[in-house]
Structure formats: structure tokens, C-alpha cells
Structure 1
Amino acid sequence: MRLGAPRPVWEAGATLGEGLCWSARDAALWWVDILERKLFRYRPHDGERRIWSLPDTVSAVAERRRGTGLVLTLRRGYAFFDPKSGALETIAEPEPERSGNRFNDGKCDAQGRFWGGTMDFGCEAPTGAWYRLGADGRCVRALDAQWPVTNGPTWSLDGRTMFANDTARRVVYAFPFEPDTGTLGAAREFLRFTEADGYPDGMTTDAEGRLWIAHWGGACVSCHDAGSGAELARLPLPTDHITNVAFGGPDLTTLFVSSARSGLSDAQLALQPLAGALFALETDVRGLPAAPFAG
């Protein structure tokens, strides 16, 4: 495969850049700075950059299929957001008993259900779970994962396997997935990374079914065969904490990559001036359209 050199397209200095979602409707990339409570929109064709400040942490983004605007995961749960008016409407806050948690990564499956993972704010307690938000607004706990940090998810091309990351333990799990109901089968270990690899963070699936995984602490994105897990490519980035990946652009061949300044010392930041930037690189790999929320 051909992978161009990554270039910074927005030197945002994000404390914790995340939540990449390409909008074909807006010809733009949505992304967030979780800890600074910011929602970003980058439009490649004219370079437009917009920022919305939110009242809470914001970690994942999906467009709505029927309604206007977006669905977001905030610290405690899901909300609708209208970028035009700034209106924010809470949908569900599913784990009030886990006060030390926050929502982290998430995205919609092909049927339009929004999967959001929670994690311990301190990244230590095994309190993470996966929630599934349906078009009717019903939110269910689909998996009490007991992971300190949840990341992903992404799906196989046939929609019958969901992949999700137990980031703190450096493991990618594969779950049998029932498309009609959104239920998960028993987890199996799909990949386990070493200390030198860093930690698996956000990920996506391309049109050939390969998995692309961002590496926190690994300064790279890796590409893997979805059957065997074999590593097919590794893309180095100029900063350590790589957080998420998504394909975008008019033909879905631009790979966007987010990063973070959080967790880097002053000395490291001096050597990594692009920490927290949004990167893009051109490829001959085609991604898949981001599935919208069905509501």
C-alpha cells in the first residue's frame, strides 16, 4: 500500500485530541479535545477551522441520520448537539453510580446504534463498560468490561465481529456480533501489544477489512489483517501520544490522525512541538463511510 508522509493540518495543541468522524455531508472532519471540552470541525477543501466550547468533556462524535446535528458522548452520557444553534440536549446518563468514570471513545455500528465506552478518569480502576444507544433513545449496558480504559470500537466488513481495545492492558479483543440485535458474544484476544508498541487507542476499518490502530505512547499507527492480526504496515508520527484514526476526504483515501499533549513532560513537549496536532496523509487505501446515528 502507498502511505504518504503525515502532515499537520491543524496545530491545535490539543491536550487530548480524539473522536475523529468524517462527515460526507459537510465535507469536513469532526474531532474533539476531551479535556479542554472543545469540539472541532476541519474542512480540507478550503482549510476552514471551527471550534465549539462545551460545558463538559466531549469524547466521541456521530452524525444523525434523521435528525439534524450530532450525537456526542459527554462525561456522563449521550447528548444531541446542534452546531448551528449551540443547543445541547441530554439523551441518557447510564451509570450515575460510577462517579469516577467518564465516557471515552465510541462510534456507530452499521445499523446506526451508537456504542460508547466508559473509563476510569484516573485510567486505573477496572470500571469501564460499553453502552449501546438505540434510535429510540434507549441506552443499555452491552458489556460490563471492567477495563480501566475502553477504546475503539470498530467492526469487521461482514459486521459480525466487533473489535474493542482494553488499552491499559494493551489488548485488542474481538467479539462475535449479532447485527440485528447488537448483542455481543464471548471475547477472544485478537492482538496483544508489547511495552515498546505503546497502548492501542482509537481504530478504524478500511474497505478491505484491515484494522488501523493508533498507538498511545508508540508514536505510530499500525495496520493489521482482520483475520490473523498480522501487522501489514506501521506509520510513524512525530509525537508520542497518537489517539485516533479515521479515513476521510471526497474518496475516503485521506487518513486523519489525532494526537495529545497530555502525559508528556516539558522536556518531551520541547522535542515534540506537534503534540496535540491533527495530521493527514494521502494513501491508496480507501476507508469506509462513518455510520450515522439512526435517530
Structure 2
Amino acid sequence: MPSLSVWPTGQRDTLAQLRDTGCVPGTETDTERIPPAVAAHAIATYTRPGDLVLDPDCGAGTVLTEALRADRRALGLTARTQWWTLARANVTAAKTTGAWRDGSVLDARPKVLATIRAAGLIGRVGLILTSLRTAPDRATGPGRDPVESALADLATTLLYCEPLLRSGGHVAVVARPLRCPDGSLVDLATPVLAAGTSAGLAPVERCIALTAGLRGSRLVTRASLAERRAAARALAAGAPTALSAHHEVLVFQLAHDAELAAAAAVGIPWPTEDEVIRPAVNRVTYPGWGRAA
């Protein structure tokens, strides 16, 4: 069955999802976390049991928890002590309930993925799943826009991550809707797609992960109190604003893999494994890399 571009991931509110998955208290303070239901759907769609799932900016660790619960291996990175403590606690909680045992969190920035410390991960990651984090503390100077800073960080992170992706693997970036001061939506998809392309990845899917519940043909929003108050203020000012009902998910593959898939879709025979060697990534050639069966 083809994968759906609209994911029904909002049937439970986010706090209920955290309780259902056994996340430790405090996880809810990570307001830019990937909701557990969204992480679980992405992991089930793009990986198999035993695959390695990487979140290079894992926050409180919801992606890691869902990967372990789905019998996948999990690795997360974060440079913030607060998130590292919560992510480790969530990984430990998942393991104590019988989840997959191979999960860890590194107190490090994504740049470590481009060093010799990550050499053993080259070509072995099945899914890189992360969110676009736009907290104000990401801005590095006065007047620096946190969204622009987050997009620049994402572009660099994807560049570090690209060599780690195995043939046939996926990269999924989750972006929650943001609004400009005038109430209009910020176009996040265009710069995220550009960031992936500049890292040597090819966009293959653009999905909507619902954060609203489905009730027949209606959407039941689960907006926060702050979002509802902002919508009320906008309405009073004569500029009605819709409440958030989804996150956007941009999915990529290695450019070479995407080309092979496109060729297969139109009936062009794929070369044999001996004929296909993965091209250089980040200007480095890794001999012996062939297309996975």
C-alpha cells in the first residue's frame, strides 16, 4: 500500500501521548518536541525492526523513546543539559518497560557526526528524524532571527548527517507552523527543501502530520491555551487566524537512491549491485559502498 501523505497522528492530545508512552515528567517542557504519535508513524513507515534511528537534535527524546518501543536502535544528540537529562531519563524509562535495549544519548552538537567519533555510523542509519527547532536561544547575536538561525543550523546538520544514511534510508524533518507578526504563515517548506538539496539529498515526500483529531469529516484542534489566546486577539483585531492542526513533514532520500527509484517507476531496469557504487558524499569517496539489496 502506498504511504499516506496525511498522517492521522492527532487522535490523542500531546500530553496524553506522553503519558501513553511512559515519558518522564518534564518532557512536556520541550515545546518543540516531535509528538510521540508523529515519531511512531514515521518510524513505522520508513524503517524496519533493528534499524538505527538518529535524531541529531533530540530535545527531550520523544523520537528515541518511540524508536526503542518499536524495536529499533536509537541514537540522539543534544548540547543542552536540560534536554540531555530528560532524554536519558526517557530512554531509561523505555528500556525498563522492556523496549529495545540499544539506545543512547550523546551530550554533543551535530558537528560531532562529521568527526572520527561517528565513523562507525557511516552508511548505517536507516532514518534520520528530527524537528526544526526555532527557540529564541538559537539566535547567536543581537537582532538575529531565531527562524533563520534554526534553518541555517538544520542545513549544516543535514550536511553532517548525509554520509551516515544507508542506501534506501530516509531523512524526515518535522516543522510546526509558525506565523509572522502580521498573522501570515511562515514558509518553512521552501528553505527546508533547499537545505536538504544542498546536503546532497533529494526530496521524495511532503506529508501532513495531523495534531488535530479526526471526527468524521471534521478536524478537532488541540491548540494550546497560548495559541487560542493569540487567535482570539487576532480575531478581535479583525484578522481571523486559524488554529494549528498539523505539522509539516519533509522527507528526503539520498539523491542516488531517489534517481534509482524514479527510474524503476518508469520501467528502466536498475543496475546490479556490482554496477552501482555510491558516489562521493561531502566530497569524500567511501570505497566499497554498493546499493543495499
Q: Which has the larger radius of gyration?
A: 2
The structure richer in strand per residue is 1
TM-score by length of 2: 0.33
Which has more helix, going by share of residues? Answer: 2
Q: Kindly indicate whether structure 1 or structure 2 has the higher relative contact order, using CA contacts under 8 Å at least 6 residues apart.
A: 1
